[in-house]
Structure 1
Amino acid sequence: MENSQSLLEKIEYLRNKMTKVALRKGFTSNESISLSQELDHLLNTYEKSKNNKNRL
């Protein structure tokens, strides 16, 4: 599993990329939606890893 720092870096990169694409192509473009879904997946992964660390 990826470490928290690596996940945060990917999240920040995708967030910036998604914003640029959404402003250029529209918030409902296929590319914006795809990036949003990928970002959601990373955010969920990050939250799960955070919760697992708190349980220990």
Structure 2
Amino acid sequence: MAKKNEFLEQIELKRNELIKIVAKDGLNSHVAVEYSQQLDQLLNKYNELFYKTGTGF
């Protein structure tokens, strides 16, 4: 359970960082895009580890 909580904390930190960067530099800034991609990776990994159902589309 600790690992799940650690992932959630990382996701929340990255989300908050992204919000600050977007407010400062804009949504289409290079840094905002990088942080958005990093957040996507964290979310995808979280879903893969904790919610993979194997049903497919």
TM range (shorter): 0.7 to 0.9
The TM-score normalised by the length of structure 1 is 0.85
Higher helix share: 1
Report Cα offsets for 1:1-56 as digits up to 9, x if no partner.
x811111000000000000000100000000000000000000000011125x78x
Q: CA RMSD in A?
A: 1.9
User: How many residues align structurally?
Assistant: 53
Residue segments in structure 2 that go unaligned for 5+ positions in a row: none
Equivalence map 1:1-56=2 (5 Å): 3-52=3-52
**Structure 1 vs Structure 2: percent identity of aligned residues?**
32
Distance in 1 (alpha carbons) for counterparts of 2:10 and 2:50: 16
Distance 1:49 1:11 in 2: 14
